């Protein structure tokens, strides 16, 4: 397969102001915030900024135990093969959101995707030639509103359409650390809910290499899936199977797949590059 070009998109402001989705109706409007700026990392310093944000979220907030060659950075063997998508605060230049993207040609070079390390993806082999892995998604704790995610997804749409790719996979994480205790009941309850309505066809279902023991947990809790997972489902994503347990990140990871053909019509043209 022809190798993909490096997706060095020009940096461009996003019109949705920061915080606009969370302002209380009775609260007076604040001064206009700096725009969000989205673009792909073009050199190692920008990748390092994304890795510092990932460390802050995964280790600092979630309590992940990360093995890394650079203190204060979340780094693994896949990073050198991925493209790194960044959202910056237009006023300070700080990286406040990131995704890493592993195209199919680079997945061949590294020998697998990160998702392969958690799940047996044998049933997806027919999709791999046009399949991108999305991973390490995170947003700075002070900027968790719809604007950052919309900025990331807009750039991903352009990337998928320009390179004629049609499938996205990844591990969507459910935190298991609650009040300092690791507990899988929330993850088991979310899996029970999602498996009723959003489970992929049997030909795409996969198995976890280290399954979360959902049958031994309380799956009756009335809880919501994390916002990012709900967003994926609104875009037509499917859950590929029961969650894996990631003890290093203190998460239950759901395998998810989203195909351009399954997107709602209002999004499909953007992802198809039309």
Low-confidence ranges of the chain (pLDDT < 50): 1-31, 274
pTM across the whole model: 0.84
Distance CA 48, CA 59 (A): 16
Give residue 113's region: left, alpha or beta (phi > 0; psi -120 to 50): beta
Looking at residue 40, what is its pLDDT? Answer: 96
Extract the tokens encoding 40: 């792909």
- 12-17+34-260: in CATH 3.30.497.10: no
E strand or H helix at 55, and its extent?
helix 44-55
Please give the pLDDT value at position 26.
35
Closest to 82 in 3D by CA, of 125, 38, 120, 112: 112
How far, in Å, CA of 171 to CA of 138, rounded?
Answer: 13
Residue 62 has what pLDDT?
82
Tens of pLDDT, residues 230-256: 989 998 999 999 999 998 888 999 999
Closest alpha carbon to 119 in 8, 6, 245, 251: 245
**77 and 84 Cβ atoms separated by less than 8 Å:** no
Alpha-carbon span 245 to 216, nearest angstrom:
13
Q: What is the pLDDT of residues 207-228, one digit of tens each?
A: 999 999 999 999 999 999 998 8
Please name the residues in contact with 258: beta carbons below 8 A apart, sequence gap of 6 or more: 167, 168, 169, 232, 235, 236, 237, 238
pLDDT at 146: 75
User: Domain spans of the chain?
Assistant: 12-17+34-260
């Amino acid at each position: 397969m022809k190798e993909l070009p490096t997706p060095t998109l020009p940096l461009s402001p996003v019109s949705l102001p920061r915080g606009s989705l969370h302002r209380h109706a009775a609260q007076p409007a604040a001064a206009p915030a700096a725009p969000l700026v989205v673009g792909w990392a073009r050199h190692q310093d920008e990748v390092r900024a994304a890795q510092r944000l990932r460390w802050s979220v995964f280790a600092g907030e979630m309590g992940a135990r990360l093995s890394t060659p650079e203190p204060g950075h979340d780094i693994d063997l896949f990073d050198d093969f991925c493209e790194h998508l960044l959202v910056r605060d237009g006023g300070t230049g700080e990286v406040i959101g990131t995704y890493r993207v592993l195209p199919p040609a680079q997945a061949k070079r590294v020998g697998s995707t990160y998702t392969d390390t958690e799940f047996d993806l044998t049933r997806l082999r027919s999709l791999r030639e046009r399949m991108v892995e999305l991973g390490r998604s995170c947003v700075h704790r002070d900027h968790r509103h719809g604007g950052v995610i919309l900025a990331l997804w807009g750039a991903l749409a352009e990337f998928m359409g320009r390179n004629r790719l049609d499938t996205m996979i990844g591990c969507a994480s459910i935190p298991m650390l609650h009040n300092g205790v690791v507990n899988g009941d929330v993850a088991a309850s979310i899996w029970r809910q999602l498996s009723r309505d959003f489970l992929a066809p049997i030909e795409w279902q996969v198995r976890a290499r280290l399954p979360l023991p959902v049958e031994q947990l309380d799956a009756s809790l009335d809880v919501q899936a994390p916002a990012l997972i709900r967003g994926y489902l609104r875009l037509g994503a499917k859950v590929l199977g029961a969650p894996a347990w990631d003890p290093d990140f203190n998460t239950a990871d759901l395998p998810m797949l989203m195909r351009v053909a399954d997107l709602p019509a209002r999004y499909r043209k953007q992802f198809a590059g039309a």
